[in-house]
Structure 1
């Protein structure tokens, strides 16, 4: 990952609403109540269900800001939410927790009824900046793929993800390479450099074999990003640069045809880098050969605004967008600031800018922010595991993930909701069971009264200062 400094927003409030009626049905005339779930910046409520709120006839003089949810204006579907099972996350779960604690944490992540209900996971295809096993790739034998193997992933990551898939049967796995094997690169190293022109064909086959190997373990890749952070060249950890022209040529003439011939159904996703450079995916997608095989664009949160995703969506509205990486860390602004920033930007902001899913970076790291392999030294996972005690604690982003993953289910569609960026940020969804979810973020340092308006009815909700609240109703 590439770290960035961030100015954190004031606060997040998320309201999730579970509707028992179809999106096109009217609100019943009988009493209907909304569930209220809240996480506050002062930690007085942490994914806590507060008192329900009742609907009433719309008032001529509503209280506070009016947030209107319009289920007739429908936008993108949702694939789900999750995090990255990096080598470090797998190591922490496997080495620093007892078997019972490890299963409890996996259940907390992926359990549909007793956990967050996450339905996506990202895995590095080979080494990354969080690879305690070292920089070895899936095949380090020059000139041949005869020695191809998932290596240490077979003994750590694969068993953990098999358990995750038991808990979340619809789990979608997204694979991302940080680097080609050293012998395929101009630098002769997995750290830095670019893909040699003579290696396009063999590297494409290497990635096809990676998809086949994961599928053989019962974990087929839903999607594969072409290259993690292709604009980053660092000697500190596995990385590889690709210009837009290189990525377009690789997708259009090497990876795309071979992946299609293999018949795996894995989506090829371009870019996988920061919001501030939409010109990169636009250039890749402008190439007709690449566009034939590209299934969408992935973004990271370490530069720019999530609104920049809209530039790519508007140019290619048929191609999905995903937010595939973001991390909190020691550079943050404390619990409240981190809660607010992640909620308003990585989740609400990216979802309003057409993301079909949000993936956090490391699922779990230890108390030193590791183990690392030359990358970020101040990063933090959704949870922090203490190796000395074998226990784990939830970080702000865990609670943000809870509000979204638990209530916005795969197949949901975003629907229209009014918003006031910088004050109360909102995003709304209708689930496949007819339930509707409204997420609200109060960025201010004082409570706000909000009137939620839906099909001629109002419900007044108080958003605590710097908080994240979920409303859920059936109607």
Structure 2
């Protein structure tokens, strides 16, 4: 009989509780109200994994506010595959984002100065907190993949003259491509390979209270095709280029980029702040060879109580994976008791971190996003291959994978309002039956036959 481990979340006080299938109460087949059938013969995408971002704010809180014992604990619980939840994708801002203590790039200059040769390029800022944590994460989990996305080019390259708003000036396209090369080379020198980049975070959003840069599809297409990819080729850089990096509601943007730059683009990056996950499949259908990545979704106070917030991560995460994404990345790895720090002038923050670090008390708290991510990352490991799962009831959401060790992983969420008795039919003809309360989640890991 296979060893089956179950992780179950029933409510705010019972998050990610581990038990073995053998400990489940016996349930009559007559009581079954829903069936999920897993078919290992139908396969889809290979996973890179799950994670969040070491923003400047998150890195500062973990590296400087927590003491060494707390930092060791939280890093292990985040990244270690056995002792923690084994997060394996980190998507970092290239320079300041909205969640930074100051506005900075890797080539800041006094007003009116220019540096087309990037003589003053430096990642010294990241060497204080971000790089040490990335190195520690990689030690805990060597399978981690690093992504990078800029919120803005250095101000002197832009029409606004600032990292706030504006567009990249055409005369600096080559310099900005070289800026990416310098970033990748500098991080590699610290033992940190960059797996993928996007040319611009949220290129259609141009806020005036934190770093941003408008980059229309025709501009991104031009930049990738004629500057960024050629720069990578000339420096033998194999970092992937993902286009778009914005919400599901504008699939026309990546389609426009891929229309002429498909040869230079490895895939499409998506966020969840508008539209629906089906957009991922829509673009993949038009360009079947391109990768799908989900690179940012934040929880926050706009989804108020526990039930809606936990449910949002579970239901949306399952649908993101069912729509072919190789990654599922939330936003800040850590925020403080005020949902910050944020850049000066940002105003009230409503985002939620994976963990909360109270700057006054130094108390460390694991948020519901940590436990929701755990439902995925603990059982679905890097290079797992998605297999088919079919539910007899639409509100019993499911997604299933086969890991490289042969184990089968499944994540289920009861999105209904009533309790269900669910039978899961596993690929080896093993059948597992259990009860799922409304808005509860179960993750299964079937480890193969025991001696």
- Give the TM bin, normalised by the shorter chain: over 0.9
Within-5 A mapping of 1:21-170: 31-41=1-11, 43-53=12-22, 63-132=32-101, 134-141=102-109, 142-144=114-116, 145-170=118-143
Q: 1:417 aligns with which of 374, 389, 392?
A: 389
What is the deviation of 1:152? 1.2
Structure having greater relative contact order (Cα 8 Å, sep ≥ 6): 1
Taking the aligned partners of 1:291 and 1:466, their CA distance within structure 2 comes to 40
Q: 1:119 to 1:425 in 2, by over 3 A?
A: same
Q: 1:255 aligns with which of 219, 228, 235?
A: 228
Q: 1:257 to 1:378 in 2, by over 3 A?
A: same
Q: What residue ranges of structure 2 are gaps of 5+ in the alignment?
A: none
Taking the aligned partners of 1:108 and 1:372, their CA distance within structure 2 comes to 25
Q: 2:186 aligns with which of 197, 213, 230?
A: 213
Taking the aligned partners of 2:259 and 2:322, their CA distance within structure 1 comes to 24
Contact conserved, 2:379 with 2:444, CA < 8 A, in 1?
Answer: no
Q: After superposition, give the CA deviation of every residue in 1:323-369 in whole Å (9 maximum; x if it has no partner).
A: 00010111113112111111111x10100000001111000000000
Q: After superposition, give the CA deviation of every residue in 1:267-293 in whole Å (9 maximum; x if it has no partner).
A: 011000001111100110011xx2221
Taking the aligned partners of 1:285 and 1:399, their CA distance within structure 2 comes to 36
Q: 1:450 aligns with which of 403, 418, 422?
A: 422
The question of 1:371 aligning with 2:341 is answered yes
Q: 1:318 to 1:53 in 2, by over 3 A?
A: farther
What is the deviation of 1:85? 0.3
Q: SS of the residue aligned with 2:280?
A: helix
Q: 1:356 aligns with which of 319, 326, 333?
A: 326
Figure out how many residues of one structure are paired with residues of the other and give that number. Answer: 437
Q: SS of the residue aligned with 2:126?
A: helix
Q: SS of the residue aligned with 1:212?
A: helix
Residue in 2 that maps onto 1:22: none
Contact conserved, 2:35 with 2:422, CA < 8 A, in 1?
Answer: yes
What is the deviation of 1:444? 2.1
Judge which range, 64-73 or 452-461, deviates more: 452-461
Residue in 2 that maps onto 1:198: 171
Q: SS of the residue aligned with 2:268?
A: strand
What is the deviation of 1:308? 1.2
Taking the aligned partners of 1:338 and 1:419, their CA distance within structure 2 comes to 23
Residue in 1 that maps onto 2:373: 401
Within-5 A mapping of 1:281-360: 281-287=254-260, 290-345=261-316, 347-360=317-330
Q: SS of the residue aligned with 1:338?
A: helix
Taking the aligned partners of 1:392 and 1:60, their CA distance within structure 2 comes to 44
What is the deviation of 1:53? 4.6
RMSD: 1.7
Q: SS of the residue aligned with 1:358?
A: strand
Taking the aligned partners of 2:273 and 2:391, their CA distance within structure 1 comes to 24
Q: 1:451 to 1:227 in 2, by over 3 A?
A: same
Q: What residue ranges of structure 1 are gaps of 5+ in the alignment?
A: 1-30
Residue in 2 that maps onto 1:17: none
Residue in 2 that maps onto 1:12: none
Q: 1:187 to 1:421 in 2, by over 3 A?
A: farther
TM-score w.r.t. structure 2 length? 0.94
Hey, which bits of structure 1, 4+ residues long, moved more than 6 A?
A: 59-62
Q: After superposition, give the CA deviation of every residue in 1:22-57 in whole Å (9 maximum; x if it has no partner).
A: xxxxxxxxx34532210122x2421101351599xx
Q: SS of the residue aligned with 2:213?
A: strand
Q: After superposition, give the CA deviation of every residue in 1:140-160 in whole Å (9 maximum; x if it has no partner).
A: 231330000013111110011
What is the deviation of 1:448? 1.0
What is the deviation of 1:428? 0.3
Q: 1:187 aligns with which of 154, 157, 160?
A: 160
Contact conserved, 2:203 with 2:245, CA < 8 A, in 1?
Answer: yes
Judge which range, 445-454 or 410-419, deviates more: 445-454
What is the deviation of 1:419? 3.2
Residue in 2 that maps onto 1:27: none
TM-score w.r.t. structure 1 length? 0.89
Judge which range, 453-462 or 384-393, deviates more: 453-462
What is the deviation of 1:303? 0.6
Q: 1:252 to 1:245 in 2, by over 3 A?
A: same
Q: SS of the residue aligned with 1:67?
A: strand
Q: 1:204 to 1:420 in 2, by over 3 A?
A: farther
Contact conserved, 2:241 with 2:267, CA < 8 A, in 1?
Answer: yes
Q: SS of the residue aligned with 1:245?
A: helix
Contact conserved, 1:101 with 1:391, CA < 8 A, in 2?
Answer: no
